[in-house]
């Protein structure tokens, strides 16, 4: 009798354990493929807004969803291996951040796992999706229109420093496809403004140092830092060198001006990541990426750091201040 009872209890325990393992296995896993470095603050670089968007669809990190992170730390060549690692881990969905290269790496790694990209320029032109309204395939997400925004930063510099005759563009040749498009946009804008465009490249921290050291000899009136994940990962270095060499510079987002950058113009990154989180939740609930239109930014942020302007001896025109979404005193 006791033996039969023991066997019954053992069977119940095994069943319960299997049920628990099944429940744990059933918890969806999101693979995050990022060109950025791991943030010191979990809310930095859009991860807080992404999980906010997820929560709006009913998914709470640690409760009914788990995220596995892979960081390329600004090193483009690491993306394919990191993407393949996520695919081999059998994640349920991949979200990419840091621009088009991360999305392309994920796309090349899988044609079946859904992919949501949080940013990246011209997803149709780069072959991520068939169309904005109906993406087709296993990708959808948020396009940040990075290319057309870069010349806007040159226009801001010309408005801020009308006497400038030479404007430099710092770009990363590791990001060839996007970078070359940005250079073409910048060349057109420079011709329209009647200024000379000087293109400098940097793919390492040492090359960033070298570029800034050359500015005084080249008589550069201002600098546009290209939209690039490596530069975001090295933003402390870039802003510090701009201050050290007294170079007026424009950047792609508030993450630069918040730490002392002069002026930034770009999309609302928090809104982009929140939208990516909402899409991820909808896909995990059964919708197909092919049917979810690629979202484009509705608002742009102009942020001016008056403290930095004063340190550079610049007076920010009222025309810029009137358009600014935020002025850092």
Q: Which is more confidently placed, 44 or 225? A: 225
Residue 84 predicted with pLDDT over 90:
yes
pLDDT, position 36: 86
pLDDT, position 175: 81
Domains of the chain by start residue, with CATH: 25-145+268-300 (3.40.50.2300), 146-267+301-328 (3.40.50.2300)
Helix ranges (H only) for the chain are: 2-26, 47-56, 79-88, 100-109, 146-160, 176-193, 205-213, 215-218, 229-233, 235-244, 254-257, 269-284, 306-311, 318-323
pLDDT, position 13: 45
pLDDT, position 18: 45
pLDDT, position 269: 83
How far apart, in whole angstroms, are the C-alpha atoms of residue 314 and residue 329?
14
pLDDT, position 17: 41
- Residues 240-262 have a mean pLDDT of 96
Closest CA to 258 of 313, 303, 223: 303
Q: Which is more confidently placed, 144 or 191? A: 191
User: pLDDT grade, residue 16 (50/70/90)?
Assistant: very low
pLDDT, position 280: 97
255-275 core/surface letters (b: 16 or more CB in 10 A; e: else):
bbbeebbbbbbbbbbbbbbbb
Q: What percent of the chain stands above pLDDT 90?
A: 69
pLDDT, position 4: 53
User: pLDDT grade, residue 5 (50/70/90)?
Assistant: low
pLDDT, position 117: 95
Mean pLDDT lowest for which of 45-59, 150-164, 183-197?
Answer: 45-59
How far apart, in whole angstroms, are the C-alpha atoms of residue 262 and residue 118?
26
Paired residues of 222 in beta bridges: 167
How far apart, in whole angstroms, are the C-alpha atoms of residue 111 and residue 115?
9
Residue 319 predicted with pLDDT over 90:
yes
pLDDT, position 44: 56
**Region class of 271: left (phi > 0), else alpha (psi between -120 and 50), else beta:** alpha
- Residues 4-28 have a mean pLDDT of 52
135-148 core/surface letters (b: 16 or more CB in 10 A; e: else):
bebbbbbbbbbbbe
Residue 292 predicted with pLDDT over 80:
yes
pLDDT in tens, 37-61: 887 655 455 578 999 999 999 999 9
pLDDT in tens, 116-152: 999 877 889 889 999 999 999 999 999 876 667 888 9
Q: How close are the terminal C-alpha atoms of the chain, in Å?
A: 81
pLDDT, position 72: 93
* Average pLDDT over the chain, rounded to an integer: 88
Q: Which is more confidently placed, 149 or 235? A: 235
- Residues 91-104 have a mean pLDDT of 94
pLDDT, position 46: 59
Closest CA to 233 of 137, 127, 102, 126: 102
């Amino acid at each position: 009798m006791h033996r039969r009872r023991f066997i019954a209890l053992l069977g119940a325990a095994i069943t319960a354990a299997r049920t628990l393992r099944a429940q744990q296995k059933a918890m969806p896993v999101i693979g995050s493929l990022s060109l950025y470095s791991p943030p010191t603050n979990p809310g930095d670089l859009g991860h807080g807004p992404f999980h906010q968007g997820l929560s709006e669809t009913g998914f709470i990190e640690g409760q009914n969803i788990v995220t596995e992170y892979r960081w390329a730390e600004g090193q483009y060549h690491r993306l394919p291996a990191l993407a393949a690692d996520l695919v081999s881990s059998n994640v349920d969905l991949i979200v990419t951040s840091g621009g088009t290269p991360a999305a392309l790496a994920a796309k090349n790694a899988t044609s079946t796992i859904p992919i949501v990209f949080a940013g990246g320029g011209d997803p149709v032109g780069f072959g991520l999706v068939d169309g904005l309204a109906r993406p087709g395939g296993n990708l959808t997400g948020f396009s940040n229109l990075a290319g057309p925004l870069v010349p806007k930063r040159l226009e801001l510099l010309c408005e801020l420093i009308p006497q400038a005759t030479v404007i430099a563009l710092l770009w990363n040749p590791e990001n060839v496809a996007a970078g070359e498009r940005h250079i073409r946009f910048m060349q057109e804008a420079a011709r329209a403004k009647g200024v000379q465009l000087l293109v400098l490249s940097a793919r390492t921290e040492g090359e960033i140092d070298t570029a800034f050291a050359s500015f005084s000899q080249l008589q550069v009136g201002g600098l546009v830092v290209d939209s690039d994940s490596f530069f975001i990962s090295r933003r402390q270095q870039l802003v510090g060198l701009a201050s050290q060499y007294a170079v007026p510079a424009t950047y792609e987002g508030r993450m630069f001006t918040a730490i002392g950058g002069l002026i930034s113009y770009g999309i609302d990154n928090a809104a982009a990541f929140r939208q990516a989180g909402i899409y991820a939740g909808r896909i995990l609930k059964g919708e197909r990426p092919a049917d979810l239109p690629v979202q484009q930014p509705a608002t742009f942020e102009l942020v001016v750091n008056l403290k930095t302007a004063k340190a550079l001896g610049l007076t920010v025109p009222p025309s810029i201040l009137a358009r600014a979404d935020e002025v850092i005193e």
